[in-house]
Amino acid sequence: MKFWVALVAVTLLAGCGADDPSPTPKPPAPPALPSKVWGLLGALEEVAKNATERLRESPLGQRLQNALRELRELRDEARGRVAEYGAEARALLELSAADLRARGAAFARKLRKRLNRDSEELRRRWDGGAAAIRALWAPPEPPRDGED
């Protein structure tokens, strides 16, 4: 048991840096930049701004800006056309659905009329055929008195 206590104590002391007599030195602070460096950085910033302005005003920069403007206009026009085509397609689909419903209703009316007409004709023929069959199979009528 004493061994474990000693081991834990040594571990804690080693972890806390108790066996290291000198503290860890801090890294030195970076030296302050001289004013010449700051002046140089400011001059470089001005040169970059001027170069950007010159590039924008150059013929190449103007052509690039015009090309970008045209591409944006084309993109906007394409979006507008796509929206227009989508609206037209939606309208056509709605018209097609309405047209199909109307045609289906007209066909259903015509079909109903034809079925009614055919069923009446078949009923008349059936009734006529049934009457003829009844007449064939009906027993003969007895002779009436005085008709012979």
Distances in Å between the Cα of 68 and the Cα atoms of 28, 81, 125, 126 are: 51, 20, 83, 84
Please count the CA atoms within 13 angstroms of the CA of 27 that sit on its side-chain side. 3
For residue 57, the model assigns a pLDDT of 86
Please tell me whether residue 120 adopts helix, strand or coil conformation.
helix
pLDDT confidence bin for 49, thresholds 50/70/90: confident
Provide CB contacts within 8 A for 50, sequence distance 6+.
none
For residue 7, the model assigns a pLDDT of 66
Q: Is the pLDDT of residue 115 over 50?
A: yes
Q: Is the pLDDT of residue 116 over 90?
A: yes
**Top-confidence residue, 65 or 35:** 65
Tell me how far apart the alpha carbons of residues 86 and 81 are, in angstroms, rounded to a whole number. Answer: 8
Tell me how far apart the alpha carbons of residues 131 and 24 are, in angstroms, rounded to a whole number. Answer: 126
Q: What is the mean pLDDT of the chain?
A: 80
For residue 14, the model assigns a pLDDT of 63
Q: Is the pLDDT of residue 17 over 60?
A: no
Structural domain boundaries of the chain?
Answer: 38-137
pLDDT confidence bin for 93, thresholds 50/70/90: confident
- Angular region, 17: left φ>0, alpha ψ -120 to 50, beta rest: left
| 3 state SS for 29-56 | CCCCCCHHHHHHHHHHHHHHHHHHHHHH
pTM of the model: 0.37
Question: pLDDT tens for residues 117-126?
Answer: 999 998 888 8
